[in-house]
Amino acid sequence: MDTLPQCNAKSKQSGYRCKNFSVKGKKVCWIHGGKSSGPKSQQGVEKIRNLKTKHGVYTRNAVEDRIQFRKFLQEADEMLHRVEEQIK
Ligand SMILES: [Zn+2]
């Protein structure tokens, strides 16, 4: 018979690791969120997302924006070079 692994959580008060067994398929016990399967409603998902987002620099949209902006700068630069060539 295989034993369940220990919960990964560490107590904020004592600093010791939680001695409970983790929930099957999870890394933490039921007290430390093993029972929770995350937010269900769109509102809940949004709430967690906002709580976990610190500055949004690495969100998919922000990264995509930077890529687009870099492309735009490159194109503008190339255009400028072409204009310079024609002036010469
Ligand atoms: Zn625990």
Q: What is the pLDDT of residues 12-71, one digit of tens each?
A: 888 899 988 888 888 888 888 767 677 788 888 888 888 888 888 888 899 999 999 999
Centroid of ligand 1 to alpha carbon of 20 (angstroms) = 5
pLDDT of residue 71: 97
pLDDT of residue 63: 93
In this structure, which residues have their CB less than 5 angstroms from ion ligand 1?
7, 9, 18, 20, 29, 32
Centroid of ligand 1 to alpha carbon of 54 (angstroms) = 26
pTM to 2 decimal places: 0.43
pLDDT of residue 31: 85
Q: How far apart are CA 68 and CA 82, in angstroms?
A: 21
- At residue 73's C-alpha, the angle toward residues 70 and 78, to 5°, is 125
Q: How far apart are CA 11 and CA 27, in angstroms?
A: 15
Centroid of ligand 1 to alpha carbon of 61 (angstroms) = 35
